[in-house]
Structure 1
């Protein structure tokens, strides 16, 4: 089914965009095609996770998934849509922590009574999440109240550079100096027993090709949002926080849920939380620096509604994940939080 959707959806999407088909038809077509491509990204991630381990597999999935969002955001910044970019990045944080992790915990929990993941990674990621969202995002908002635009932008640039450097240091810590030090027993067994569906080269090639296809389709999907928003009565904030974030992270959603269903929670958690950290500590700071080359720069300033939503999501995720275990009810709790925030952004 996904193979058929992919091989039909990609060329038809290209034809539809060139022939300017109705926006509603293109919106549905683009979404279905991205979901189909996401299934291939999920299979490639699973193969890489077996060959290279869950950390690298999850990291590669998050990187390729966020590459799509980075590309869309750069085009949006060039068009001066700073608010939409910040809203979509807020949506990525909420979507990964509440929707992706929630669906993973829920779907996996329906099949397995109790699932475990690396508690050391969970606690390490919790500290980085607290730093990235509750310090690096809140501080600019608080201090900017008594600053002009120039000083606010300077503060944003300084914080962005620090975030990028700390993110690179975190990767060096996990993948080089402390690789395998905090490896769980289940992780070692899975790595030794399983045979990957695809080799490393083929899996990376599939990820790269699928990412390029998703990037092309996603860029055109953005142009349908305005019409679809007017048709359904959606605001720009709701489109950015909910719709753009869900579609832009479709690959990670599919991959994480698939891993959880197969009881590979180390990979699922690494995708959900690892992607959040990459957005907060790398993608967003890079976009702040890239915006300096455009007519309108993007300071690291969110609305209070966005900040409170992100901080609440981080606190909830830290409390739920710090024991290194999950079940369907914890997943349902995360999903309920996402729905509540979605209603709030819809009515705002």
Structure 2
């Protein structure tokens, strides 16, 4: 039933988005239409990555979901940088970290926990990811802010570029560790057996084709979505920070939201956790550093500097997730705790 609704939204939303753009409909109408269409397309991306996760395993499936889901946000961010909206880009990446760790993981833990009293996931992966989260957010994000207080803008940008290169290199090393040198080392035999019994909804070729086409369409819609931000902000009295942290982040991460919750409901917590935490790591260690480097080719460069509100929110989210996930188990109450934290931060950013 849900898949049929998303299919209807896609077949109506895509042509209406094109028509509305050509006929210059109201920016508010277009903003709503673009967001709903991107969310509908994200459902296809979620189904495709679920099929691929069955074929390739939970780690690669989660990685593919995070990659194609973050491709949406990367595309939106590049167009935003081109338009000079650096504040929205940084805010949307903050929102992505908060959204994945608190909203996506929270919904997954809560909905899965309502159906299953106790859900387990790979504790070794959880601890490995915890270390990377602490490094990426607490060290790589906080250090530039601290040192920039006594630096010129050019030196701050140089520091940001250096840190970005280190983040990308470490992220590639982390993938090599998980998918090559230590692939399957920490995977229990019960997981392997369960994985082998599943049948994917779509074959590998069809799933990859759906992911590719959906990403292209999202790229087209995202380019036009960016141009509605300023008008919508003025109309509703929203700040640039709120639009980035909440609105853009939710739309940009719709694929992860749908997929992770669906996996948790089916008790596939390894995939759900890999999507939520893996996507956060990819944003922090790959997407953001790449955007810092890409910004050098635009009129306005983007140093790796967040506001203190953004930094404290991200650090708090990481610490909470580390404490909750390090035992390799989840339940509905832990999910509710994460969701409550997201709502509190959302209210704060709205009133800021």
Scaled by the length of structure 2, what TM-score is found? Answer: 0.97
CA spacing shift, 1:47–1:145, aligned 2, 3 Å: same
1:122-137 alignment runs, 5 A limit: 122-137=126-141
TM norm structure 1: 0.98
Q: Match for 1:12 among 16, 30, 46?
A: 16
Matched with 1:246 is 250
What is the CA RMSD across the aligned residues, in angstroms?
Answer: 1.0
Question: Could you say which residue in structure 2 is the equivalent of 1:222?
Answer: 226
**Contact 1:187/1:266 (CA < 8 Å) preserved in 2?**
no
Task: Tell me if the contact between 2:72 and 2:218 (Cα under 8 Å) persists in the aligned partners.
Answer: yes
Residue 152 (structure 1) aligns with? 156
The secondary structure found in structure 2 opposite 1:27 is helix
Contact kept? 2:79, 2:226, Cα under 8 Å: no
Corresponding residue number in structure 1 for 2:312: 308
Which residue number corresponds to residue 206 of structure 1? 210
Alpha-carbon distance in 2 for matches of 1:228, 1:294: 24
Whether 1:295 and 2:281 are equivalent positions in the alignment is no
2:177 aligns with one of 173, 180, 184: 173
Alignment partners' CA distance in 1, 2:87 and 2:64 = 28
Counterpart-to-counterpart distance in 2, 1:179 and 1:170: 11
Count of aligned positions: 348
Give 1:80's aligned residue. 84
- For residue 186 of structure 1, report the CA deviation from its aligned partner: 4.1
Gaps of 5+ in 1: none
Gaps (5+ residues) in structure 2?
none
Larger CA deviation: 42-51 vs 22-31 = 22-31
After TM superposition, give the deviation of residue 177 of structure 1 in Å: 0.4
Counterpart Cα distance in 2 of 1:325 and 1:296: 44
1:311 Cα deviation after fit: 0.2
Comparing 184-193 with 140-149, greater Cα deviation is found at 184-193
- Whole-angstrom CA distance in 2 between matches of 1:184 and 1:21: 54
1:347 to 324, 339, 351: 351
**For residue 323 of structure 2, what is the aligned residue in structure 1?**
319
1:235 and 2:239 matched: yes
* Separation of aligned partners in 1, 2:176 and 2:97: 23
Q: Say whether residues 1:69 and 2:61 are aligned partners.
A: no
Match of 1:113 in 2: 117
- Output the CA distance in 1 between the equivalents of 2:255 and 2:266: 17
